[in-house]
Structure 1
């Protein structure tokens, strides 16, 4: 069994409040890129995880990968013993604001649900996902969704027009809690959604004033983000340049995947970069 774990991109991200337990409330339009990790699993006596791919080294020191936690949570929900040999082929940068670990956990839930024949279905998988992290429920869906609450409230969005995405990261990890801690006080109102966006330019125009409420704090902690944003914005055809999530990955919105791919190729070789189409068919 194989599962694609696409990068999650927050086209807009507003911090709308804070719960009594300290967790922040969000309002975000999340989409998924055509680049990601791959999770595969085969039957085995016990539960194991092997790491592969160009990004595997960054995970070697982790004592308990989120993929394994997802496997154990799924088995507990289904009332079975967790038994599978899992391989995570890592391509996305870690701690980078595009939900790499969350996407991996979500892919593991989908793959193991199929491998073990538990048949829990999307709703129960999302419930399990909510206990693993704020981004995991939307990554179970791996399609354009509006995220609210602490990530557990998911709503469908109007059909998105075709567009191209560019992703770039200066190969710098950025811890999400530190970014929230550095954020300026105050909260934003939830976004008002239109019935549709006729084209990519209209989508960019709608997104522009919504912003990413974590971007300024992330730049304070990681100044190279500003250079990445400037480099993306300077590429021909860029409709919008913005940071995704808590950073440090930034994205560019383009009218076509071809333009996004060409723009990504022109960015510095030392950065992690990708350009192409949105993942239209989920994970």
Structure 2
């Protein structure tokens, strides 16, 4: 019997880079918050076939074996999971290459769906390890709830906090932004950070003291993203005339809580380059549940 899964986007309410680790990755502290903007993944068991991608945000999203849904299935089966063949139908509403975690959410949803249909499941702990191997954001979508302060590359949960009732505007430029290019620009331009001598102790202290900021609290990658993509800097300048938009992740989507005075969405759309998208959504409450069966 087929199942349908609701897979949310995320924003980085804050994103701070502590420094570069010995393994080459940057140590992050970031509050992740899920949005009501979602992809939809349909799993059709008993039928094999490539991942099919449709929807308003399908442009630029690979189908077939190159999709993260297929990568998640391959990893799950290689780890010992057993389930009937599955045909995947992915309806994309989350813009790709925008720092909203759509691909990661899709991968987490595939893991959830496979566990649901399994004749031999792997269990939450093994799937959590697979999620971290698939991508830094995947663990949040696989097991997250409310807002989460995350460390490491984003795969380590430090603290959870309730989410306020809040509507937000998303502004997405008409071009993708490369995460690798942004981190390269950050590494080239940043003063090297000094990681704490005892990172585990620092993480524990941060988790104990942390609270979700009342308003978006900055993104250390923003300046690097604007250097690497001057057109993104111009995009952000246009947004600033309407509300205090902040970059999500490595970009290029920006978000802002809706002002009490409202937001002139028509004027904002008219001010942005052709092909830009402006979406109104809200913060998601309770468990992220990247994969929840629905009719």
- The normalised TM-score by structure 1 is 0.84
Q: Using the alignment, how far apart are the partners of 1:28 and 1:106 within structure 2?
A: 19
- Tell whether 2:175 aligns with 1:172: yes
Q: Using the alignment, how far apart are the partners of 2:280 and 2:79 within structure 1?
A: 38
Contact 2:222 2:250 in 1 (8 A): yes
Contact 2:83 2:118 in 1 (8 A): no
- Deviation of 1:59 (Å): 2.2
The alpha-carbon distance between structure 1 residues 145 and 28, as it changes in their structure 2 partners (threshold 3 A), is same
Of the three residues 219, 223, 237, the one matched with 2:226 is 219
Q: Using the alignment, how far apart are the partners of 1:255 and 1:193 within structure 2?
A: 31
Q: Using the alignment, how far apart are the partners of 1:47 and 1:127 within structure 2?
A: 26
Q: Using the alignment, how far apart are the partners of 2:130 and 2:265 within structure 1?
A: 36
SS where residue 162 of structure 1 aligns? Answer: coil
1:121-169 deviation digits (Å, cap 9, x = unpaired): 5433221100101111112135321110112211333323222211111
* Superposition map of 1:121-140 within 5 A: 121-140=123-142
The alpha-carbon distance between structure 1 residues 253 and 188, as it changes in their structure 2 partners (threshold 3 A), is farther
The alpha-carbon distance between structure 1 residues 86 and 164, as it changes in their structure 2 partners (threshold 3 A), is same
Q: Using the alignment, how far apart are the partners of 1:148 and 1:45 within structure 2?
A: 39
- Tell whether 2:149 aligns with 1:146: yes
Of the three residues 270, 273, 279, the one matched with 2:278 is 273
- Deviation of 1:234 (Å): 3.1
1:246-276 deviation digits (Å, cap 9, x = unpaired): 01111112367x94xx554542263122112
Of the three residues 187, 195, 203, the one matched with 2:193 is 187
SS where residue 12 of structure 2 aligns? Answer: strand
Deviates more, 1:178-187 or 1:114-123: 114-123
Identify the residue that residue 241 of structure 1 maps to in structure 2.
Answer: 245
Contact 1:70 1:109 in 2 (8 A): yes
Q: Using the alignment, how far apart are the partners of 1:220 and 1:149 within structure 2?
A: 25
- Deviation of 1:120 (Å): 4.2
Structure 2 regions of 5+ residues with no counterpart?
Answer: 196-202, 291-295
Deviates more, 1:136-145 or 1:219-228: 219-228
1:29-72 deviation digits (Å, cap 9, x = unpaired): 01011112111101124353111112223124775211101012
SS where residue 48 of structure 1 aligns? Answer: coil
Deviates more, 1:109-118 or 1:146-155: 109-118
Count of equivalent residues = 269
